[in-house]
Amino acid sequence: MRRVIISLSLMMLVSVVAQAQILTSSNLPIVVIETDGGVSIPDEPKVPGTMKIIWHPDGSRNYLTDINNPAFLNYDGRIGIEKRGSTSQEFLEKKPYGLTTFQADDVTSNNVSILGMPEENDWVLNSLAFDQTGMRDVLAYELSESLGQYAPRRVYCEVMINGDYKGLYVFMEKIKVDKNRVNIVKMDEDCNSVPEVTGGYITKADKTTGGDPVAWQMQEYGSGWWPSYVDFIHHYPKPDDVTPAQNQYIRQVFFDLEQKAGQHNTSAENGIPSIIDVPSFIDFMMIAEYTSNVDVYSLSTFFHKDRNGKLRAGPVWDYNLAFGHDEFGYRSRYDVWQFDNEDNKGPRFFKDLFDTDQFRCLMSRRWEELTRRGQPLNYQLVCNRIDAIDALITEGVGRDNQRWHKMNSHQSYVQDMKEWLQMRTNWLNTHFGPYDACDELDLPPLVISKINYHPEDWWGVDGDHLEFIEITNNGDEEVDLTGVYFRELGVTYGFPVGSTLAAHDALVLCSDSLIFVEYYNMVPFGQFSRNLSNKSENLVLVDAWGNVIDQVHYYDSDPWPWEADGEGAYLELIDLDLDNSLPENWTVGYDVTTIPETEVSDGFRVFPNPTHGVITLETRRATSLPYRISNMLGQILMTGTIHGEMQQVNVSRLPSGMYSLTIGNKTKKLMVK
């Protein structure tokens, strides 16, 4: 037995030495995986092992000899790993893998940041199947990301498994519900009635080789006696977890879209824009058509829907058969629409959307915007990015080719891709059509005027329940709010059909209507789903078709007012005519109700709050200013004057409870313990 063990050890040593001749160092991170006992990696289930990632975060070269140097190990821990993919796994020796990072018990998921990507536990090692350029997936994901859509984050690396050099890979995120990935709410088996049943969902049109059952089918456009169908599969909730009510709800959303798109119904009340987030569909189709992806629409095509939100297309996935290259035929041509060719047309609604005048006009306008100088799909800019990626992976391509002999024509493929993109761009320029009808928009003068993103807790009530957003009509005419909604994932709200806002009037949306009424003593216009981020959020108010009315991307750090970050204040626009995208045009407010004005208009600070006795009042005025403290019934219990910018006040004689502290026209809640 000892002789056998020695022989096996010698064989492994010889293998490592042989592979080390291919890889000793790299300009890319090096991923080293060892399965327990050196077992082969199956299609499923995942087998346990360890993974070490050698990475010099300063960008310097990575050496295999650093395998035991903690200073240069980005990850050193347990994993479960399996083969993944369908065609790529079946036809190629170089396999793609899926892996989960585990804690030491091999059971508990280990959420970690890998190679600078946000913390999670589910990852993919993309093998770049059928791709001599080594960049089709990466470039497509980058382009989608540059359009403002989420795409899986990715980092090139070189991989060794059980002493065997596997080649050039992309370490990337798996499509999954997560605040840093597909940012929708999570569901469980109890989410079966409105509003819980409305989201969140991730659904895909795909083949069933992964073993997941078909949830429903949708017919393609086609010719002949036998219609063809697209299979739809539940990605989240998983097929085993989705309930009948959830299946029926999300299925109906897709068939409603099929009906409205087939009718070319453009009504904001009950048409196409009432069902889908139009910009996400336009951007998804833009990347699909720009790259002429032969699989898209029927395969590896994802959709997602947040709670109370619209159906959205994406994220993009699986673009190895694109950019003019198709391993199995001549389908990625520069002179076709992929939703209307001889193969993989997808469900009927994609072509019907494009054939709807308003949708096509907006898509044409988007194409013109994106191809301008300096914009993401500008031909020269894309070529420059191709060259930059090529320079990054040149070393890895050479070693990968030495191992597998599948990238021997890499440079010619890269050059062909750039030449093909020129032809594709020229063809699209002449086939999108005019956009004059949607070039000049008549958008309502709505302004996001107040944002309470991080309220203080109140008598055991989490501050998240006290959030609100104020929207003001900064015009001289009443505004029809039908179809107006917040476009970005996170806070979700769409105005009901027939709702209006009078000239120079304001409304308030809140996170919890019942608590809002109790705390602020006023009735909100509506309640949004989910919560505002306490760090940063991009609030994009749009019309029914996704055209931007107003946009504010706030942060909890300078130069944004610090008092709004959990200090009892909210963000308030100084003047409705100012650019509210700029932090210097925001100040802080302390109460959503109207207080008679005095000479203070820029807020104050009180600390500590809650207090056991003495508080410090801080203003931005050196002059003497009166203050008053009232109970929640409005009875004034203390008055005084602040002399200068800062002064201490003893409130120890007040009984424990919640009070209102007012200086000028600003009021702040004060808790005495």
443-500 tens-digit pLDDT: 999 999 999 999 988 878 899 999 999 999 999 999 999 999 999 999 999 999 999 9
Distance CA 673, CA 669 (A): 13
User: What band does 8 get if pLDDT is binned at 50, 70 and 90?
Assistant: very low
CATH says 441-593 is which class? mainly beta
pLDDT tier at 17 (50, 70, 90 boundaries)?
very low
Average pLDDT over residues 263-273: 98
Q: pTM for this one?
A: 0.86
Amino acid letter, residue 155: V
Instruction: Supply 567's token pair.
Output: 């200090």
Instruction: Find the range with the poorest average confidence among 172-186, 507-521, 651-665.
Output: 651-665
Q: How many CB atoms lie within 10 A of CB 223?
A: 8
At residue 378, the pLDDT reads 98
What is the end-to-end Cα distance of the chain in Å, rounded?
Answer: 74
Q: Which run of H or E residues covers position 19?
A: helix 2-20
Residues 90, 295: Cα–Cα separation, whole Å: 17
By mean pLDDT, which of 113-127, 292-306, 443-457, 613-627 is the weakest?
613-627
**pLDDT at residue number 634:** 80
**pLDDT-derived band at 2, boundaries 50, 70, 90:** very low
Closest CA to 525 of 550, 494, 555: 494
Residue percentage of the chain with pLDDT more than 90:
78
User: Tokens 């939100």 belong to which residue?
Assistant: 309
Lowest average pLDDT, out of 21-30, 243-252, 275-284, goes to 21-30
Residue 576, pLDDT score: 97
pLDDT given for residue 3 in this prediction: 43
Residue 339: pLDDT over 50: yes
Cα 165–Cα 166–Cα 172 angle in degrees, nearest 5:
130
Cα–Cα distance between 176 and 172 in angstroms, integer?
12
Per-residue pLDDT band for 343 (boundaries 50, 70, 90) equals confident
Question: pLDDT tens digits for 18-76?
Answer: 455 689 999 999 999 999 999 999 999 999 999 999 999 999 999 999 999 999 999 99
**d(Cα 234, Cα 257) in Å, to the nearest integer?**
17
> What number is the average pLDDT over the span 585-591?
85
Best CA proximity match to 493, nearest among 522, 467, 473, 518: 467
Q: For 249-253, 392-396, 460-464, which range has the lowest pLDDT when averaged over its residues?
A: 460-464
**Residue 633's pLDDT is what?**
75
- In this prediction, residue 595 carries a pLDDT of 30
CATH 2.60.40.1260: which residues of the chain? 441-593
Mean pLDDT of all residues belonging to the chain:
92
Report pLDDT for 531: 97
593 vs 521, 522, 603, CA distance in Å?
A: 8, 8, 15
How far apart, in whole angstroms, are the C-alpha atoms of residue 403 and residue 207? 31
With 80 as the cut, is the pLDDT of residue 9 above it?
no
Say yes or no to pLDDT of 407 above 80.
yes
Instruction: Check residue 222 and give its pLDDT.
Output: 76
pLDDT recorded at residue 218: 97
User: What value does the CA radius of gyration of the chain take, rounded to a whole number of Å?
Assistant: 29
356 and 259 Cβ atoms separated by less than 8 Å: no
Give the span between the Cα atoms of 248 and 250, in whole angstroms.
6
Q: Rounded to an integer, what distance in angstroms lies between the CA atom of residue 631 and that of residue 569?
A: 19
How is domain 597-673 classified at the CATH fold level? Answer: Immunoglobulin-like (2.60.40)
Q: What is the DSSP letter of 626?
A: E
pLDDT of residue 239 exceeding 90? yes
Rounded Cα distance, 146 and 110, in Å: 30
256-273 mean pLDDT: 98
Average pLDDT over residues 117-132: 97
Q: Enumerate the CATH 2.60.40.10 domain ranges in the chain, comma separated.
A: 597-673
Phi, psi of 354 (to 5 degrees): -65, -30
Average pLDDT over residues 205-231: 86
* 166, two tokens: 């596997």
Question: Would you report the helix, strand and coil content of the chain in percent, each value rounded to 5?
Answer: 25, 30, 45
- Judged against a pLDDT cut of 50, whether residue 621 lies above it is answered with yes
Helix, strand, or coil here: 99? strand
Condensed to tens digits (0 to 9), the pLDDT of residues 73-86 reads 999 999 999 999 77
Which percentage of the chain shows pLDDT scores above 70? 93
Which ranges of 405-450 does DSSP label H, i.e. alpha helix? 410-431
